[in-house]
Structure 1
Amino acid sequence: MALLTLQEAKKQLNLTTDTDDDELLTYVDAVTAPIEEYIGPVEPREVAEQHDAESGRRALVLRTSPVLSLTSVEPLLTGGVSYPVDGLVLDTGTGEVRRRNSGVFRGLLLFTVQAGRTEVTPTINLAARMLVQHLWRTQRPGRSGGLAGGGEDYSVGQPIPGFGYAVPNRVLELLAPYRLPPGVA
């Protein structure tokens, strides 16, 4: 599952030849990072996180979300306790992990999860296509023209904290329903 394909990007840009495919593929690949910075992993992948539960914790919240599944919870120190995943409950939306028996986690632990999404929604895909279009236009000024009255359809206006001028407001507005909660990245 890809966030955006080369063919989708070409369609967004109204490109019908393969002349720019190599360069455009760089743009297609590049938009994943800023979008995932804002909404978390899109393309499924394995992620490992360390969590300190030395003092005992009933629940731990993963820093990566959304989470598809929990693969393992292993101790990082010799003699530590391993927690079989069938004895754990994962809230895939929030990333909260608890023990089924209401016990506590102890020790320095390594959580391995499959993070990402089961599908790329049409809204996320559109945001990716629009971001490619915005970045593509910065390399080709004057080819596509602006709006009547001289306005630029992809103007960012003020820099957006954490994104600068690279991501237009309209892309962030499309991604807003999927935005990570504060403190999650």
Structure 2
Amino acid sequence: MSCSNDNDQNPIVHETYIQGIVNSKLENYQQINLKDTNVSNTFFSESKETWLQAYKNKDQLTSGGYWSVRIHDLDIIQASLPYSNWTNNSADIAWDNNLAIEDQRCGGIDSGCKFIGSTTDGLNLTITEVTDNFITGEFSGRFFLTGTGFGHFKDESTFVDVENGAFKIKFSVTNE
């Protein structure tokens, strides 16, 4: 018999995941590829964009929360690794657990919020390996509350600090 609590730093291990410690709690989400979409965990070779994601709960994709990693203007297949020099390109990591955000600007049909860390704002992100369509990396930094949809804003006074972030995601490649 085993016990678990919110501060348990030894979560269920997923083969593919995105995780980080947020407010002293390990947020470990598993990779789930969405059906009927071409943007789920994909490297777009022509535009050099990479979109990765992992979800908290496979049964409640829209309400359970997620992590996403977006890498812009970088050919992850050809990059010299480890890669952490974001001078000529950028990356963003978003964390949305839907329950942690209590801000009136975040409600509504066409608006939402998530916490976003960006290499342009000092996010530390290192891609450590890209092998056989698996990408792994590490990250840490400050994630600011950011409005999405029609309610776009960035609130630098509302943030979470993410520590010991890591990811391992299996991705597909497309020429789109």
TM normalised by structure 1 equals 0.21
Higher strand fraction: Structure 1 or Structure 2?
Answer: 2
Higher normalized contact order (CA 8 Å, seq sep 6+, divided by chain length) = 1
Higher helix fraction: Structure 1 or Structure 2?
Answer: 1
> Which has the higher Rg, Structure 1 or Structure 2?
1
TM normalised by structure 2 equals 0.21
